[in-house]
Structure 1
């Protein structure tokens, strides 16, 4: 009796898993019918936002270095400020937008564009600035390049230091959001076009058999 109940509980889960596998195979066949330009947009499009995120990191790093009079560790601070935003933005965009669209789990156009815009603005724009604060704050403390206040005034100090940087970085942040919005809308449109593609004909060898 216990075994029958177990099989009854497992059957719906197994059926759902098989449906997901069949759906992925179907979508993969449809994806292969797309023109190469559309395929490249899915494969390489997120890296455009990722590169912009790395550039935002370098710009923000430069601003904070000037404000805090940091002259040491130029390369040491620049490498993570370019590399980490690039990796993070690319990975999150793939996980939040590209993969859900291709798997058929993100079929709402508005949802796709909102996810894309948030990923571009937050991960590709704001995250590099916040990271630059942490990196340059540590460098300023290590090299004593600028007098830092005590713990009671530390938050007020960083708000004051960061305000001009955020104002200067507003355009790159908006550009990131606009680029990611366009990319996510384009990917969603390509996916919907993909679903309307006719079924491919059977293999000629199979017809011969």
Structure 2
């Protein structure tokens, strides 16, 4: 799941760079936006899904819900927010897009990047399905292990 969230970070960065017409410092944004989501997703999934499943505290429904939530929050929203902020700073620094009026900067940037945000719905759906499926499969594996331990 960490790999797919790093790919989502890469895609979000590409889309927001194109919306904000940022051409400078590609490695300054692409490298962190592929590494940080990977690490965040892997650690969060381990603490919220894998460890409770290993201890037998989660049901199948809760594991699917937690897996889907972790994949959406850490796999799509976190990289999208990072890409929006990093590329917004570069766009302001190099003045690649017109500056927003005072006091309305968030609205200005949101309207400017509306098409990129809409395109991020596709990876969000894929991440949700993938995270839920991965958590369900992991729950089935843990159930089999617990059954084998009970028989011995």
What's the TM-score, normalizing by structure 2? 0.94
Work out whether 1:69 is the aligned partner of 2:21: yes
- Unpaired runs of at least 5, structure 2: none
The residue that corresponds to 2:33 in the other structure is 81
Pick the structure with greater CA Rg: 1
Work out whether 1:132 is the aligned partner of 2:61: no
Separation of aligned partners in 2, 1:147 and 1:162: 13
Q: CA deviation at 1:129?
A: 0.6
Cα pair distance change 1:188/1:157, threshold 3 Å:
same
Q: CA deviation at 1:130?
A: 0.8
The residue that corresponds to 1:94 in the other structure is 46
The residue that corresponds to 2:10 in the other structure is 58
| More contact order relative to length (CA 8 Å, sep ≥ 6) | 2
- Unpaired runs of at least 5, structure 1: 1-48, 200-209
Which of 157, 180, 184 is equivalent to 2:131? Answer: 180
Contact 2:13 2:83 survives alignment (8 Å):
yes
Separation of aligned partners in 2, 1:63 and 1:161: 12
Which of 51, 54, 71 is equivalent to 1:120? Answer: 71
Work out whether 1:190 is the aligned partner of 2:152: no
Segments ≥4 residues shifted beyond 3 Å: none
Report the 3-state secondary structure (helix = DSSP H, G, I; strand = E; otherwise coil) of the residue aligned with 2:113. helix
Separation of aligned partners in 1, 2:21 and 2:142: 49
The residue that corresponds to 2:119 in the other structure is 168
Contact 2:20 2:113 survives alignment (8 Å):
no
Separation of aligned partners in 1, 2:124 and 2:112: 18
What's the TM-score, normalizing by structure 1? 0.69
Q: CA deviation at 1:137?
A: 0.9
- CA RMSD, aligned part only? 1.1
The residue that corresponds to 2:104 in the other structure is 153
